[in-house]
Each structure stands twice: as structure tokens, then as C-alpha cells.
Amino acid sequence: MLLPDKVAIINGGATGMGRSTAIKFAEEGCSSVIADINETDGKKTAEEASKKGRECIFVNCDITDLAQIKDCVDQTVKKFGTVDILVGCAGGVPKSGLVKPSQRIERPKRGIQHTDEKFWDIMMDLNLKGHVFFCKEVSPYMIKQKYGKIVLISSLGVFSPPSSAAEYHSAKAAILGLVYNLAFELAPHNINVNAVLPGPIKTPFYDPMMVNMSEKEKEARFTEMGKSVPLQRIGLPEDIANTVLFFASDMSSYISGETLIVGGGKPLPVYREMV
């Protein structure tokens, strides 16, 4: 096993990439805490992961609420004694079920000239601020034990935006700045900090964009998205979970401050596109 007797917090772990990561971690000997506002799916994921042989619990946690973040970390330490790994999967867009009802607002028209302050602030809270404070809360335990792994999910859209979404992509770009800084700051304490940048991955992230589609239409849309990828398929949550496992395990013990694109070959380097 790659994570024997380790303890992880996976925020945004109820569905998608976080769910697959929780199950993968359990298979590798890791106990986990699913931190999410989606109680129904969060408890299902915790139950499924627990069947793999390691205990996994659900903690209701809104990543935009700093008090809930602290409480989640406190509950983790009370239950398991420490926290070895933090995986930051939580995020989304304010129209989706990934956020609490009070934040489900319509996004303004695309384009910087239509940027709305309230929408901007919510996007930053969802996709950046909460991760900063999760790192703040777990770092004292990792520093004390001279061991820790922090893996944050950014987005390929930072470098290769599929559409205009300055609010979302700016927040995800800031995740990279956070990773670079923390990798430098925490390295003397034997704490590795890295980022994963997913390309198109088949997760509930796309639900708000496909709300009026039938299941057949959704599958056709995912198939079409896959055609834009050199490997000619849409990515799966397991593709991200495997990468997160690499960064969370000692296979990557000499890697920190890395930002790894997991996009099926997308984007290809410019020189290859010109050939």
C-alpha cells in the first residue's frame, strides 16, 4: 500500500474527482475525511470508501466558511489524531449544486466588460480563499510531525481557456501562486505542496451547463469534448485520483512546487502544434 495508516482531508470529496480520490486512498491504506456541503453523496462516498478497509467519515463543511474549515480540521484531528494529507478539490461555479443555495446566482455575460463584483467575490471564495485557509489550518499539524502532503486542484483553463471565464480561471491561476509559495515555505518541514491541472474531465462540474440535456445528449457532448484531446477521450475522475495519489504518496517525496497538467496530451507544446 502507498498510504498505510495515513489520514487525509479531501474537500469537495462527495463527487467527481474528490470521490474517486477518497476511494483510491482507502484502497492504499488511508483513512479520510470527506469535507463537503453535499451530505447525501458525501455520506455515500464515505461508506463506499470505508468498505475498502479504512475508515472514512463525512463532515459537512462549506469551504467559503472559515469557521467550518477550522471545525473540519479539528474534527479530523480529534477522530484520527492528526492529518497527513490535504487534497483541495472543492470549487465550482455559483449556479451549480456544488455550492450552497445563497450563492447560486446567474453569472454575468462572458467578457471582462461584464464582470460583476458579487460574482467575482463568490468565485474567489469558492475556488481560492477556502483552500488558503484549509492550508492554514492543517499546516501546524504537518509542521509538528515534520511530514505532510498538500495537493490542490487547479485547471488547465489557466493556460488554455476553452471559453472566456476570467473569474474562474483567475482563481485557479492563483492556486498555482499559492502552491509555489507554500512549497517554498513548508519545504524545511518536509511538507510537499503540488498542484494538478485537469483538462476536460467527466464530473458533475458540467451539470449546470447540461441541465436541459438528456442523458444521451450529455454522453454525446462528452464524446465531442473528448475529440478535442490528443488521446481522443474525455478524462475520468480516476485519471485525476491516480495523479493525486502519486503526489500524496512517497513516490513523489522529492517533488514540490510542481504543477502537472492531466489533460490527455492537451495542450500540446507550441512547437509540436506547428509541425
Q: How far lies 73's CA from each of 61, 79, 89, 171, 231, in Å?
A: 10, 10, 16, 23, 39
Q: Which of 71, 77, 39, 74 is nearest to 58 (CA)?
A: 39
Residue 187 CB contacts under 8 Å (≥ 6 apart), including other chains: 256
Residue 206, CB-side half-sphere exposure with 13 Å CA sphere? 19
Q: Which of 141, 147, 168, 206 is catalytic?
A: 168
Residues 218 and 210 sit within 8 Å (Cβ to Cβ): yes
Residue 90 CB contacts under 8 Å (≥ 6 apart), including other chains: 11, 12, 18, 35, 36, 63, 98, 126, 130, 131
Cis peptide bond prior to 267, omega within 30° of 0:
yes
The answer to whether 168 is a known catalytic residue is yes
Alpha-carbon gap, residue 56 to 48, rounded angstroms: 9
| Active centre residues (catalytic) | 168
